[in-house]
Amino acid sequence: MKISGKTKVACLIGHPVEHSFSPYIHNFLAKEYNVDLRYTCFDVNPTDVKEALQGIKALGIIGSNVTIPHKIEVIPYLDEVERNAAIIGSVNTIKNHEGRLIGYNTDGVGFIKSVLDEGHILKDKHVMVLGAGGASRAVVVALAAHGVGKITICNNTLEKAESLAENVRSNFEEVEVNVMPLAVTSKDLKDVNFLINTTPLGMSSKKDLMPIDQNIVPPSDLVVCDIVYTPHDTKLLKWAMQRQLKVVHGIGMLINQAIASFEIWTGLEIDAYEKVYEILEL
């Protein structure tokens, strides 16, 4: 499709942005669904976030993704923030709706979709989440909004886990939330249905690490999920597969958060997971 005077633009703002997969995904989706749209990346200095958002309005950019370190900083400059994004306290997607900037967070729902797509049921289940940083907040709030029964948050810095737990308790009264140190034992896992890693342990330079002791004996029906997607098979996922446990790879969250953003900008329903997976060649 040729660029014309009618071609719309969507973008990523972050710092840095060079390694982003988002341009591949969104430009592919635009072509696949015949949407006259191009997606590009802008490296925005932390001091220029307000001006960048004014630019989105002024230039009529239809939407934006937001990545590190701007996911929290953009919030004061938005006209509206969707409820779960407000509870998470971070925005990864902005829609320019007739000149009003609306903030969303698709990271958590992207994760949930990656689990559901594997045929699992999360409703009323006991979910253990390792880590209590930004990624964990998005995942934990989405799990609570989806209707899991119980969430156990494990983190070295217990205050961070407790603050996230309190946030979830006050917004989702029906969900039981507990916290414990990141020192999981076989006993702790006894009644856990899903174990989710949101820490960087297992990622690139930390690829030889995993967030739990490898001598732990897991329940045979435990589903192990990692939001780390490089490498594809993290040490934790390999450990799980060697024990015949079902696993959910981090690539699912990456692809599904992007698809959810594209759906918000265009109003289309996208069914292209497999095709996007193939073009990423991760």
Which residue numbers are catalytic?
A: 71
Establish how many alpha carbons lie within 13 A of residue 207's alpha carbon, considering only the half-sphere containing its beta carbon.
8
Closest CB 35 distance from ligand ATR, rounded Å? 30
Per-residue binding letters, 152-191, with ligand ATR (x by CB under 6 A): ---xxx--x---------------------x---------
Evaluate whether 168 touches 175 at the Cβ level (below 8 Å): yes
**Quick one: DSSP state of residue 79?**
S
Nearer to ligand ATR, 22 or 198 (CB): 198
Evaluate whether 94 touches 73 at the Cβ level (below 8 Å): no
Nearest to residue 226, comparing CAs of 82, 83, 90, 118?
A: 118
Evaluate whether 198 touches 129 at the Cβ level (below 8 Å): yes
150: helix, coil or strand? Answer: strand
Closest CB 158 distance from ligand ATR, rounded Å? 8
Closest CB 186 distance from ligand ATR, rounded Å? 19
Going from the C-alpha of 18 to that of each of 21, 22, 39, 116, the distances in angstroms are: 9, 10, 13, 31
Find the angle CA(53)-CA(58)-CA(62) to the nearest 5 degrees.
Answer: 75
Stretch that binds ligand ATR, among 9-17, 56-64, 198-206, 246-254 (CB under 6 A): 198-206
Nearer to ligand ATR, 105 or 155 (CB): 155
Per-residue binding letters, 73-112, with ligand ATR (x by CB under 6 A): ----------------------------------------
* Nearest residue (beta carbon) to ligand ATR: 133
- The single residue among 139, 143, 201, 228 that binds ligand ATR, judged by CB under 6 A, is 201
Q: What is the dihedral of CA 74, 77, 78, 80, to 10 degrees?
A: 120
Residues 218-237 close enough to bind ligand ATR by CB under 6 A: none
Stretch that binds ligand ATR, among 36-44, 79-87, 162-170, 192-200 (CB under 6 A): 192-200
Closest CB 196 distance from ligand ATR, rounded Å? 12
Per-residue binding letters, 124-153, with ligand ATR (x by CB under 6 A): -------xxxxxx-----------------
Contacting residues for 202 by C-beta, under 8 A, at least 6 apart: 209, 210, 211, 226, 228, 231, 234, 235, 236
Closest CB 130 distance from ligand ATR, rounded Å? 8
Q: How far is it, in rounded angstroms, from Cα 133 to Cα 263?
A: 26
Structure tokens at 250: 């981090």
Number of residues that bind ligand ATR (CB under 6 A): 15
Closest CB 157 distance from ligand ATR, rounded Å? 3
Evaluate whether 266 touches 93 at the Cβ level (below 8 Å): no
Nearer to ligand ATR, 126 or 206 (CB): 206
**Sites of contact with ligand ATR (CB under 6 A):** 131-136, 155-157, 160, 182, 198-201
